[in-house]
Amino acid sequence: MALFDTLFDKRKSKGIHPPYYKIASHKNIEKAPLPKEATLPLSQHIGAPAKALVKRGDKVKTGQKIAEAGGFVSVPIHATISGKVKGIIQVVSSVTSRVGDAIVIESDGMDEWVELDKPENPEDLSKEDILSRIKEAGIVGLGGATFPTHVKLQPPPDKKIDTIIVNGCECEPYITSDHRLMLEHGDDILKGLGIMMRVIGCSRAYVAIEDNKPDAVETMRNLLAKAGLPGQVTVESLDTIYPLGAEKTLLKRILGREVPVAGLPFEVGVVVQNVSTLKAIHDAIYEGKPLIERVLTVSGLVKEPKNLIARFGTPAKELIEFCGGVPPEADEMIFGGPMMGISQTSLDIPTQKGTNSILVKKSDMKPEGNCIRCGACIEACPMNLVPTMFVAYVKNKMYEELGDYWIENCVECGACAYDCPANIPIVQYIKVGKAELMKLKKGAKK
C-alpha cells in the first residue's frame, strides 16, 4: 500500500515546468479601443451554432441580441458595438478551421447600448431565473473550452455535485488575464461563485491558484474573509506545474478523484469553473450585461504587453497596434498560449469568446525526427497515457486501436510534445487520431 501511495503521489505531480514568461502580470487591465468593424462568428462555443436574427442594413445597439441559441447546447450572440449590419459572411473558424457564418457590424462610433435588464434584487432571483439570464447573456466557459455555462450548471439529476472548483491557475506561459482579473475584480468573482453555489445547491468550494501568483492568493483570501459566502469555501495555493489548469488535472490534485475516460467532472461530483466565467456570471446577474467582451492578454513580441478588456469581433491587428506593434522578426500569431494555442493565418482574424490571449512570436519550427523510445512523453503526461503509441497508430492508420490506449482521456496539453527530443508534433497526431476514431464510432452506429 505504501508503494502504491508513493506512485499515486508521483502521478499526481506529473507535468512539466516551461518558463512562465508572465511579462504582463504587473500591468493593470486597460480598456481597448472599440473596433471599427466587428466580425462575430455564429459558432463561438461548443454545441449548435447560433441563428442570426438580423440582416444586412439593420441598425443594432451594443448588447442587442443578434443571434439566438441554436439548441439547448448553444447560446445567443450579442452585438459588441453599435452600428449597421454590413452583412452575413462566411469565415473560417479560428479554433476548428471549419467554415461558418458570421455577422459583420460596421461601427457608428457611438457605442449606444440597449437598455439592460438589471434585476432590482439579484438575491431574490429563482434558480430558473438565474439559469435563464446566464443563457440569454450568452455566457460560455472562458477558460478555453467555451462550453455553454447554463448547461454546465444543470448536471443530470442523478449526479450529485458536492464540490465546486474555481480555476484561477492560468498555467500557460505568457497569459496573465485571469491573474489580473483576480487582483482587480476578485469581489465580482466571489459573487459569481455565490450565484453558482446557489444554483447547483453545493456548499463546498475551492478557489485554486498556483503559488507563482502569491498576490492573487493573498487578495482572494482577504476578499473571501469578507464575502460572507455560505458553506465551506477555501483558497488553495498549489505547486506550479503545467498543465495544472486542465480541469481533470486540477480535480485530481485537490480531491484525488479521477474522471472516467471520455467523461466529465460532474460524474465524480464536481463542477469546475474559470474565474473569468464567474466574472461574466456576476455581470449578467447583478448588472444585466450580456457577454460582449472579456479580458485578454496581448504578449510576446509586442512593444508593450498588456491585459486588455476587448470587445469580441475586434481584429487582432487593432489590439496588437494598441500595444505598440511588433518588430519585423515576428512571424507568428497565436490565439491562446504557446502550449495549447492555435496559430492564426492573418492578423485580421477577430477575437471571440474563447480568445484569452494573443501571442506574437517568431516561429521555431524544427524538423520532425524519429521516435527514439526514450519515454519522455510518457513521463510528462499528466493523464498517465502513452503518447508515443498514439503517434505510431496514427502514422499507420490503425485508428481503432487508439481506444485501447485511452486516447479520449488526452487533454491535448502539449506536455508530451514539449519534452520530445525528436520534435514530434504529438498533439497534432492525437487530434487526427481522435477525429478518425470518432468517425469510426459514428460509422459503427449507423
pLDDT at 420: 97
249 and 356 fall within a common domain = no
What phi and psi, each to the nearest 5 degrees, are found at residue 352? -145, -170
* DSSP characters over 221-281: HHHHHHH--SSEEEEEEE---BTTTSHHHHHHHHH---PPTT--GGGGTEEEEEHHHHHHH
Q: Which residues contact 394 (CB under 8 A, 6 or more apart)?
A: 402, 429, 430, 432, 433, 436
313 and 385 fall within a common domain = no
Q: Establish if 215 belongs to a structural domain.
A: yes
The candidate with the shortest Cα–Cα distance to 186, out of 359, 29, 304, is: 29
Answer with the one of 361, 391, 406 that is the final residue of a domain. Answer: 361
Q: Establish if 201 belongs to a structural domain.
A: yes
- Helix, strand, or coil here: 8? helix
Does residue 405 register a pLDDT over 60? yes
State the pTM of this model.
0.94
pLDDT in tens, 186-203: 999 999 999 999 999 999
- Alpha-carbon distance of 393 to 426, in angstroms, equals 12
Answer with the one of 256, 272, 287 that is the final residue of a domain. Answer: 287
The candidate with the shortest Cα–Cα distance to 350, out of 292, 283, 268, is: 292
435 and 411 fall within a common domain = yes
pLDDT at 49: 95
pLDDT at 13: 56
132 and 104 fall within a common domain = no
What CATH number corresponds to the domain at position 132? 3.40.50.11540
157 and 42 fall within a common domain = no
pLDDT in tens, 381-390: 999 999 999 9
Q: Which residues contact 359 (CB under 8 A, 6 or more apart)?
A: 174, 299, 300, 333, 334, 335, 336, 337, 338, 341
pLDDT at 80: 98
Answer with the one of 287, 316, 351 that is the final residue of a domain. Answer: 287
pLDDT in tens, 315-324: 999 999 999 9
What phi and psi, each to the nearest 5 degrees, are found at residue 279? -65, -40
Does residue 263 register a pLDDT over 90? no
280 and 140 fall within a common domain = yes
The candidate with the shortest Cα–Cα distance to 103, out of 51, 57, 40, is: 40
Q: Establish if 11 belongs to a structural domain.
A: no
pLDDT in tens, 112-157: 999 999 999 999 999 999 999 999 999 999 998 899 999 999 999 9
356 and 427 fall within a common domain = no
The strands making up 83-92's β-sheet, listed across from edge to edge, are 37-41, 99-107, 83-92, 59-60
- Alpha-carbon distance of 265 to 253, in angstroms, equals 13
Q: Establish if 21 belongs to a structural domain.
A: no
Structural domain span for residue 155: 117-287
Q: Provide the pLDDT confidence category of residue 11 given band limits of 50, 70 and 90.
A: very low
- Please state the rounded mean pLDDT for residues 287-297: 98
435 and 320 fall within a common domain = no
Q: Establish if 13 belongs to a structural domain.
A: no
228 and 270 fall within a common domain = yes
- The chain-wide mean pLDDT, for the chain, equals 94
Is 206:252 a contact under the CB 8 Å cutoff? no
Q: Establish if 10 belongs to a structural domain.
A: no
Q: Establish if 371 belongs to a structural domain.
A: no
154 and 186 fall within a common domain = yes
Q: Establish if 366 belongs to a structural domain.
A: no
Number of structural domains (the chain) is 3
153 and 276 fall within a common domain = yes
The candidate with the shortest Cα–Cα distance to 296, out of 282, 284, 281, 311, is: 311
pLDDT in tens, 40-63: 999 999 999 999 999 999 999 999
260 and 395 fall within a common domain = no
- Alpha-carbon distance of 377 to 282, in angstroms, equals 40
- Alpha-carbon distance of 230 to 148, in angstroms, equals 25
The candidate with the shortest Cα–Cα distance to 106, out of 151, 58, 67, 69, is: 58
